[in-house]
């Protein structure tokens, strides 16, 4: 349970090797933190990520988690509560970017990306939220993206999953608020990370650490939505309303 200062004692990261997710964990760590759970499909990579956290004296539990295996999510969330007690913060950070040139034409590739990024995220979020609702407290950080604010032609399937997740998180956040659970939606722009290696950086590109700092500030003030960097909020007030022919001519992919 969070202490009197609102500092989380148990932090769960779904997508335990995510650069942004790990940065958020580091920013959340405090002297009262009891455990961090890194849940990931690649446990070996998760152990490497955990090593950096353990060097600071934090107890880190690396567990196998498959975002696409929706039938396992309810039991997985229950096992977290059984082992670690109350879950104070859960960060939903798993997903794949996919190759836009492939997912625009390959039905199987598009379905795989959609199943992980949307169906898997919805399922696992509800599973974790059910545990928090029983507790009567907790915060969920949903890593959305500005890609979902107006889906670009470069990677429309990925953008569509982010648009869907963002909408789900807004509506579901209103549901769980009645049970004392806070939903924070984080909308980063282009982030320099493993996922974007080799891609051309977009305007106002940022870093995992800067996204994490904005996220933790948003958690502490019980914000509903955080943009990272904040200027993107004002940019998309304009961009989301541009006529289609104008939007298509922009050099955004």
Query: Cα(76)–Cα(125) distance, rounded to whole angstroms?
Result: 11
Active site residue 91: no
Taking Cα atoms as reference points, which of 184, 185, 188, 170 lies closest to residue 231? 188
The residue from 76, 94, 118, 158 that is catalytic is 158
85-102 confidence digits (pLDDT tens): 999 999 999 999 999 999
- pLDDT of 27: 95
Q: How far apart are CA 64 and CA 76, in angstroms?
A: 9
Can you list the positions of beta strands (E) in the chain?
A: 10-14, 35-40, 60-64, 89-92, 138-143, 181-188, 225-228
Beta strand spans in 171-249 (E): 181-188, 225-228
| Domains assigned to the chain | 10-249 (3.40.50.720)
Cβ neighbors of 224 (< 8 A, separation 6 or more) are 170, 173, 183, 184, 185
Q: Which residues contact 78 (CB under 8 A, 6 or more apart)?
A: 131
Q: Please tell me whether the peptide bond between 229 and the residue prior to it is cis, using omega within 30 degrees of 0.
A: yes
Least Cα distance to 64 among 87, 90, 41 occurs for 41
For 16-44, the pLDDT digits (tens) are 999 999 999 999 999 889 999 999 999 99
For 98-133, what is each residue's pLDDT tens digit?
Answer: 999 999 999 999 999 999 999 999 999 999 999 999
Rounded CA separation 153/164 (Å) = 16
* Closest to 218 (Cα-Cα) out of 184, 182, 181: 184
Of 77, 75, 119, 131, the residue nearest 94 (C-alpha): 119
Give pLDDT, residue 4: 44
How confident is the model over 46-86, as pLDDT tens digits? 999 999 888 667 789 999 999 999 999 999 999 999 999 99
Q: What is the mean pLDDT of residues 168-190?
A: 96
């Amino acid at each position: 349970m969070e202490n009197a200062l609102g500092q989380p004692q148990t932090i769960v990261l779904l997508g335990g090797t995510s650069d942004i997710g790990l940065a958020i964990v580091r920013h959340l760590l405090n002297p009262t933190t009891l455990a961090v759970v890194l849940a990931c499909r690649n446990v070996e990579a998760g152990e490497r990520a955990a090593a950096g956290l353990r060097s600071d004296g934090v107890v880190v539990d690396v567990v196998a988690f498959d975002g696409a295996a929706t039938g396992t999510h309810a039991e997985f969330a229950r096992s977290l509560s059984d082992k670690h007690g109350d879950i104070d913060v859960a960060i939903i950070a798993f997903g794949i970017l996919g190759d836009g040139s492939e997912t625009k034409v390959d039905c199987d590739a598009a379905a795989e990306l959609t199943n992980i990024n949307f169906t898997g995220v919805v399922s696992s979020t509800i599973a974790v939220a059910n545990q928090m609702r029983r507790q009567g407290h907790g915060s969920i950080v949903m890593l959305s993206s500005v890609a979902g604010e107006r889906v670009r032609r470069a990677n429309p399937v990925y953008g569509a999953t982010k648009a869907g997740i963002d909408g789900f998180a807004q509506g579901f956040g209103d549901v769980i608020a009645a049970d004392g659970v806070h939903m924070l939606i984080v909308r980063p722009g282009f982030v320099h990370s493993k996922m974007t290696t080799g891609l051309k950086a977009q305007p106002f590109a940022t870093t995992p650490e800067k996204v994490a700092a904005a996220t933790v500030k948003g958690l502490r003030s019980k914000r509903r939505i955080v943009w990272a960097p904040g200027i993107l909020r004002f940019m998309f007030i304009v961009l989301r309303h541009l006529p289609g022919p104008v939007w298509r001519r922009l050099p955004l992919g």
